[in-house]
């Protein structure tokens, strides 16, 4: 029987598997969530021929088959993959950083307790999630600025060829600061990764499987985590989009919120939340299913490689 000091860690020391698993999870989430975005955008066009979202979905499948729902998915794929890899990789790194600090503190104060793998507290998970969000915002802010600007340009006389060209033009006109227009609300929105990971962890612990839950439990935990995350900071996303769509129109994030409230009332802060939540559940469920599966494959391969190497040495 192993002593607690001899119990092997379930987590690999390297953060690389988390980056890879996050990338796979991001692509899976996009594959599931993209049809929801496409249908919503098509149904909301002023000149739309559809009666509603459901009619748009049925008509698209009938006319273009299932592949019609995935038109335009290639463009955001790379960005989504990188962002998710950064989120999960940063989260894992920050969790390990806190664990190292806790072990160091225990050694300094002369702790004689067990040195096995300790389960991170919900506070540590919240801090790591929020920290991962802040790190990710440095990528998502310019990426989404380009997306908003490209969506707003007129189709008849487009002035920007793509995201890179868009950011290049912004940089020439307003410098590096211009490329990070809307950074403050972006950071606030990305803090939602704190509640995101905490919600997933809480459901995992309540279900009795800890971090090793599988199947329907992962789907449920991931889906609910995505919905809670969006609910926690949705108004910040609305403000971010307004600021990025109209650079220079608002003095600050507070000024934008004030003007939006004056002209359109409090409801503007939650406009579009319902369809966002409808997409959030399946998209984030798919993300976590793919992430946990990829992590399991990568860690098992690493463990098998380590065992075979040890056997060869012996």
H or E element at residue 11: none
Q: What's the burial of 91, exposed, middle or buried (CB within 10 Å: 0-12/13-18/19+)?
A: buried
- For 193, other C-beta atoms within 10 Å of its C-beta total 28
CA atoms within 13 A on the CB side of 157: 0
Helical spans, DSSP H, in 44-121: 53-64, 74-108
Sequence-distant (6+) residues with CB within 8 A of 60 are: 38, 39, 42, 68, 69
- For residue 147, the model assigns a pLDDT of 87
Q: Quote the longest CA-to-CA distance of the chain.
A: 75
Whole-number Å distance between alpha carbons of 92 and 212: 15
Q: How far is Cα 293 from Cα 281, in angstroms, rounded to an integer?
A: 18
Two structure tokens written together for 211 = 């971090």
Q: 6-12, long-range: CB within 8 Å, 24+ apart, which pairs?
A: 7/116, 7/117, 9/117, 10/117, 10/211, 10/212, 10/299, 11/92, 11/96, 11/117, 12/298, 12/299, 12/302
Assign residue 312 a region: left if phi > 0, alpha if psi is -120 to 50, beta otherwise? alpha
**3-state SS record for 144-172:** HHHHHHHHHCCCCCCCCCCHHHHHHHHHH
Q: What is the pLDDT of residue 300?
A: 77
Domain map (residue ranges) of the chain: 12-105+118-300
- pLDDT value for 21: 95
Give the chain's residues under pLDDT 50. 1-11, 41-47, 109-115, 305, 308-314
What is the model's pLDDT at position 70? Answer: 59
CATH topology of domain 12-105+118-300: Mitochondrial carrier fold (1.50.40)
Q: Which 8-state DSSP code applies to residue 271?
A: T
What gap in Å lies between CA 171 and CA 241, rounded to an integer?
19
């Amino acid at each position: 029987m192993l002593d607690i000091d001899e119990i092997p860690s379930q987590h690999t020391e390297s953060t690389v598997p988390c980056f890879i698993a996050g990338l796979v999870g991001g692509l899976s989430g996009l594959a599931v969530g993209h049809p929801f975005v496409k249908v919503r955008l098509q149904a909301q066009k002023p000149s739309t021929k559809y009666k509603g979202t459901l009619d748009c979905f049925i008509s698209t499948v009938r006319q273009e088959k299932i592949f019609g729902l995935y038109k335009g998915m290639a463009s955001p794929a790379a960005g989504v993959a990188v962002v998710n890899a950064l989120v999960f990789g940063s989260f894992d790194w920050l969790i390990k950083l806190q664990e190292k600090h806790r072990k160091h503190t225990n050694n300094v104060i002369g702790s004689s307790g067990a040195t096995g793998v300790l389960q991170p507290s919900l506070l540590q998970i919240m801090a790591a999630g929020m920290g991962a969000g802040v790190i990710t915002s440095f990528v998502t802010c310019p990426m989404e600025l380009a997306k908003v600007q490209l969506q707003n340009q007129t189709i008849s006389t487009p002035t920007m060829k793509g995201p890179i060209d868009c950011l290049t033009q912004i940089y020439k006109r307003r410098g590096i600061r211009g490329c990070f227009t809307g950074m403050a609300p972006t950071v606030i929105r990305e803090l939602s990764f704190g509640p995101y990971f905490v919600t997933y962890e809480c459901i995992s612990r309540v279900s009795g499987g800890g971090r090793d839950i599988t199947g329907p439990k992962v789907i449920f935990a991931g889906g609910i985590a995505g919905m809670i995350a969006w609910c926690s900071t949705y108004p910040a996303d609305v403000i971010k989009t307004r600021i990025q769509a109209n650079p220079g129109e608002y003095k600050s994030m507070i000024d934008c919120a004030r003007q939006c409230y004056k002209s359109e009332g409090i409801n503007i802060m939650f406009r579009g939340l319902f369809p966002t939540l409808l997409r959030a559940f399946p998209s984030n469920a798919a993300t976590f299913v793919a992430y946990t599966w990829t992590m399991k494959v990568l860690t098992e391969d690493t463990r098998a490689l380590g065992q075979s190497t040890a056997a060869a040495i012996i």
